[in-house]
Amino acid sequence: MVMNNSLNIDSLKQELLTVLPSIRVREQEALKYHTTFKIGGPADLFVEPTTIQELSFVLKTIKHHNVPVTIIGSGSNILVKDKGIRGVVVSVREMMQIMDCNNHTLCVGAGYMLKDVSEFALSKGLTGLEFAVGIPGTLGGAVFMNAGAYDGEMSHIVSAVRAVDFDGSIKEYDTTQLDFGYRHSVFHDNHEVIAEIIMTLQAGDKESIKSRMDELTEKRESKQPLEFASAGSTFKRPPGYFAGTLIEQTGLKGLAVGDAQVSEKHAGFVINTGNASANDVLTLIKEVQKRVHDAHGVHLEPEVRLIGED
């Protein structure tokens, strides 16, 4: 794609407004309001489709206008740089028109938060989603990453996915086509946008399901700094080590650059204690990497995805 200009953005916006209301097509939208880090400069254009048909129209129109595009969900694993993102950002966070249950099968829009989907399954007496109650992010993002925790992962329960490509075509994938692996799905390779997910669960006892969800929620709340904005675990687990343990052993709990700080509660998290900039976070990450490498000879690789312009 060629670099966009104001004329491209303006003509794209005008065409999008023939289908979407103006409240869901906004210029210069601050992305700090759309990431769990609460950090990030503006998007040239920010678009929020709510149905698979709207998503199809949006992606096809963006391609026609030749404007760069970035797809986000709840923004739970990204750090947006301080100058923001050029082109258009499409958020699937409002893709919440569908949450249905038929026997043991759930059909859910990609924008729902995992916690809400887990609680919906509980309300229907269905087991299999308990592991996801504490994972931050949307269902679509969880399928994209094959998210997992506590011996469960999305590949165990997802039976079909509907996605949209950049020509606006709606595709459907069954379990044999999803290419699930460790933190991987086919959507890493084909770059299509997940819109709706079908999951097959099992009948269970509501009290047992709730008890397990409460147990996992308590584990997460006791160990992670959920009272502060963050993007989750900042670093990938290095082979043979735990990132948080290495950082704590290096004496870096509480280390800060501006309002970016290594959490006192869990050293594997960089948190935003107030009004941290992306540059604050990046400077802190580099300092942690340097000190851990100096002390232990281990290179920590960031898990948080960095997007946008400095």
Concerning whether 303 is annotated as a catalytic residue, the answer is: yes
Contact 177, 192 (CB under 8 A): no
Catalytic residue of the set 155, 233, 263, 277: 233
- Using DSSP bridges, classify how beta strands 85-91 and 42-47 pair: parallel, antiparallel or unpaired: parallel
Greatest Cα-to-Cα distance within the chain, rounded to the nearest angstrom: 58
Contact 125, 108 (CB under 8 A): no
Q: What b/e readout covers 123-162, taking b as 16+ CB neighbours within 10 angstroms? A: eeebbbbbbbbbbbbbbbbbbbbbbbbbebbbbbbbbbbb
User: Quick one: tokens of 188?
Assistant: 């890493």
Q: Which residue in this structure is represented by tokens 């949450």?
A: 99
Q: What is the DSSP letter of 113?
A: B
Question: CA of 116: how far to CAs of 8, 25, 96, 109, in Å?
Answer: 38, 26, 11, 11
Q: What is the DSSP letter of 93?
A: T
Q: Give CA–CA dist 302/290, Å, rounded.
A: 13
CA dihedral 72, 143, 129, 230 (to 10 degrees): -40
Task: Compute φ and ψ for 200, nearest 5 degrees.
Answer: -110, 120
Cα angle 260, 262, 268 (rounded to 5 degrees) comes to 130
Concerning whether 183 is annotated as a catalytic residue, the answer is: yes
Catalytic residue of the set 26, 94, 183, 291: 183
Residues carrying an active site annotation: 183, 233, 303
